[in-house]
Amino acid sequence: MNSKEKERQSDATKDFVKDKYFEGGNFLLKLRQTLVTLAFWWMIIFPLLTLINSVSRQRIWRNIYRWTWADGLILARDLFIMVILSLLVFIIIGGFFLLRNNRNLKKNYPERKTYDEERAAARCAILEEAYTERFGNREFRENVDYYSVLPEKNLDTGFAHERFKDGGYPYE
């Protein structure tokens, strides 16, 4: 890929969201985010395991705390509060992102092109030429009521990809 194609590709993708976690490299970032995620999951799972271990008839996990009834009421209340607050935060943040995404879909994305217009027009021309060669001119194709395609004129699975590659506009 030459520098002009790289520049065109970077122009086309500059508006998309990028996440350094999923890019190559960034080992320390991946390690830090993974450890923080695991720590927060442990903060959610451990109290639930304690609750399950305590309300069951027998101790399920030996190394996890088993509370008495007085301790359990406080823990159950705290867990209930934590779950309710988590749901509220999730609903508020989820609603915010839903509204933001809907606004972007209605207002921002229709105004911006997310593809290379020149490349798309060239590919359309390549396909139009191939269709004309196989099935007749455009006017005929659009105005005919019934048309039977001969088996040898059927399109192969990779037909468009091959034509784009031969025409100088391959898929990347």
Task: Report the pLDDT value the prediction gives residue 11, as an integer from 0 to 100.
Answer: 57
- Given a contact cutoff of 8 angstroms between Cβ atoms, the answer to whether 150 and 48 are in contact is no
Nearest by Cα to 118 from 17, 13, 15, 12 = 12
- Does the pLDDT value for residue 28 go beyond 80? yes
- Average pLDDT for residues 99-105, to the nearest whole number? 91
The better pLDDT of the pair 45, 91 is held by 91
Question: Sign of the C-alpha dihedral, residues 149, 152, 158, 163?
Answer: negative
- Tokens standing for 55? 């309300």
- Average pLDDT for residues 108-137, to the nearest whole number? 84
The domain spans of the chain are 9-66, 70-114, 117-166
- Tokens standing for 52? 């399950």
Single pTM value for the model: 0.39
- Tokens standing for 54? 């305590």
